[in-house]
């Protein structure tokens, strides 16, 4: 359909589409709930990151990483977890999987140490991210893009949009949420790709203008999600969702990754909570940089120049 790989690589190669956690403490265990989570340091202090937010750390020990991951996965699904903890929990989850996906031997050790409840979940997260890493193949760029990173619509409101589109078209809400995740981090990226794709679902204006696809505002989350569902139907998604996703992005890697994320939400709708809270990471020439809400560049900027002003965007050492 369109080529927006530069944008996708930011979210899931660095970037979702479009990817380490707290210093381990002995109090963390695989059954820790929100009370325990609230008492541990999920992130390490890093000057220059988003206001009152910090880049998560991943423990150096495999067992400690497994214990922390299990605690985070549990807390994200626990109705008693304070909403104020969810952004850091989701970011912690994301960064663990981003780190482990690039380290096969270590990820195998962490998987072996995880409780059985979380192994399949972690395996699918890692498999999805590795599909995007395979798409990338090359070293990340030395510049950062001309984007704004904004706060997405509330999770409940986006979920209503996905479910409305599913009711109207038959395209599963989980697939639409996964596409929204990998394209723009569920609307966090407010920018135009190198191919001129726009809005939270990354439509080319020419595609949006096709009869029966776009209606309303290409940049409006509600309108874009409904249009994406209609487009997937047009490309054969009701008969074969893989075919529909191929029409959305001509890559089997892309389709497999989207469906892996969708399967997590289909199996357990509460998995949506963690994915909604994922941040925008950019796979640059110097590593996996976090571009927090508030990032705003009217033109591309050299990575090193940006880091001089915002050192907290770099993973903590």
Residue 165 makes CB contacts below 8 A (sequence gap 6+) with 171, 173, 176, 225, 226, 228, 229
Mapped onto helix, strand or coil, the DSSP state of residue 223 is helix
Higher pLDDT, 10 or 58: 58
pLDDT given at position 195: 72
Nearest CA to 146 out of 16, 291, 5, 14 is that of 291
The Cα 18–Cα 9 span in angstroms is 6
Binned at pLDDT 50, 70 and 90, residue 98 comes out as very high
Q: What's the Cα-to-Cα distance from 16 to each of 8, 10, 52, 270, 309, rounded to whole Å?
A: 7, 7, 23, 19, 25
pLDDT given at position 26: 24
pLDDT digits (tens, 9 = 90+) for 230-253: 999 999 999 999 999 999 999 999
Q: What are the residue ranges spanned by the domains of the chain?
A: 1-317
The Cα 177–Cα 164 span in angstroms is 12
The whole-model pTM stands at 0.86
**Does residue 28 carry a pLDDT above 90?**
no
The Cα 46–Cα 258 span in angstroms is 32
CB-count exposure of residue 256 (10 Å: 0-12, 13-18, 19+):
middle
Q: How far is CA 65 from the centre of its chain?
A: 20
Q: Contact at 8 Å (CB) between 69 and 110? A: yes
pLDDT digits (tens, 9 = 90+) for 177-235: 999 999 999 999 998 776 788 999 999 999 999 999 999 999 999 999 999 999 999 99
Instruction: Please state, for a pLDDT cut of 90, what percent of the chain lies above it.
Output: 78
Instruction: Please state, for a pLDDT cut of 70, what percent of the chain lies above it.
Output: 83
Residue 305, CB half-sphere, CA atoms under 13 Å: how many? 9
| Residue 13 DSSP one-character state | I
**Does residue 51 carry a pLDDT above 90?**
no
Number of CB atoms found within 10 A of residue 298's CB: 8
**Does residue 165 carry a pLDDT above 70?**
yes
Q: Which two tokens stand for residue 271?
A: 């998995």
pLDDT given at position 1: 41
Q: Contact at 8 Å (CB) between 286 and 304? A: yes
Query: What integer is the mean pLDDT of 119-148?
Result: 93
């Amino acid at each position: 359909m369109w080529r927006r790989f530069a944008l996708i690589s930011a979210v899931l190669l660095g970037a979702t589409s479009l990817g380490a956690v707290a210093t381990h403490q002995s109090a963390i265990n695989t059954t820790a709930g929100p009370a325990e989570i609230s008492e541990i340091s999920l992130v390490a202090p890093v000057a220059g990151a988003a206001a009152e937010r910090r880049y998560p750390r991943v423990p150096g020990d495999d067992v400690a990483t497994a214990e922390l991951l299990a605690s985070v996965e549990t807390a994200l699904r626990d109705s008693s977890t304070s909403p104020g903890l969810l952004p850091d929990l989701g970011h912690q989850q994301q960064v663990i999987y981003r780190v482990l996906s690039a380290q096969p031997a270590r990820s195998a050790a962490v998987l072996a140490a995880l409780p059985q409840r979380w192994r399949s979940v972690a395996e699918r997260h890692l498999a999805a991210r590795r599909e995007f890493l395979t798409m990338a193949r090359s070293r990340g760029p030395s510049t950062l893009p001309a984007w704004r990173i904004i706060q997405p619509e509330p999770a409940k409101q986006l979920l209503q949009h996905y479910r409305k589109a599913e009711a109207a078209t038959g395209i599963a809400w989980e697939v639409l949420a996964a596409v929204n995740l990998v394209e723009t981090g569920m609307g966090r990226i407010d920018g135009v790709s190198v191919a001129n794709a726009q809005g939270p679902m990354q439509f080319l204006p020419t595609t949006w203008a096709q009869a029966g696809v776009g209606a309303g505002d290409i940049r409006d989350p509600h309108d874009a999600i409904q249009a994406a569902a209609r487009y997937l139907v047009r490309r054969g998604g009701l008969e074969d969702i893989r075919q529909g996703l191929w029409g959305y992005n001509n890559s089997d890697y892309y389709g497999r990754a989207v469906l892996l994320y969708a399967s997590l939400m289909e199996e357990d709708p509460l998995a949506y909570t963690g994915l909604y809270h994922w941040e925008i990471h950019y796979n640059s020439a110097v590593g996996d940089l976090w571009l927090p809400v508030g990032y705003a560049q009217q033109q591309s900027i050299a990575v090193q120049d940006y880091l001089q002003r915002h050192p907290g965007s770099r993973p903590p050492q």
